């Protein structure tokens, strides 16, 4: 995912992120602040993902979000 696009969509997906990744706190989401690299690091910390796994997880969730948004 393009990091600029991710940052632009952050406000829309922030609420969804808590349901996608239940271990994330409001503080984690605030710290991420739409920064792809920071969210990747937080997912690594909380879930023990490798960097590649975290990036794929974010990409997967964003693709699903975009797909669902187009259906509505």
**Where would I find the H helices in the chain?**
3-20, 26-32, 36-47, 51-71
Q: Calculate mean pLDDT across residues 44-49.
A: 97
Whether residue 33 contacts residue 10, with contact meaning beta carbons closer than 8 Å, is answered with yes
Confidence class for position 34, pLDDT limits 50, 70, 90: very high
Give the CATH fold of the 3-71 domain: Protein Yjbj; Chain: A; (1.10.1470)
Record the pTM. Answer: 0.88
Q: Which of the residue ranges 4-8, 21-25, 52-56 would you say has the lowest mean pLDDT?
A: 4-8
Pairwise CA distance, residues 58 & 72, whole Å: 21
Any idea how long the chain is? 72
Confidence class for position 69, pLDDT limits 50, 70, 90: confident
């Amino acid at each position: 995912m393009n990091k600029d696009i991710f940052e632009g969509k952050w406000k829309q997906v922030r609420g969804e992120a808590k349901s996608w990744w239940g271990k994330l706190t409001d503080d984690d989401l605030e710290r991420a602040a739409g920064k792809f690299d920071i969210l990747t690091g937080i997912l690594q910390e909380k879930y023990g993902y490798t960097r590649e796994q975290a990036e794929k997880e974010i990409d997967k969730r964003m693709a699903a979000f975009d797909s669902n948004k187009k259906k509505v």
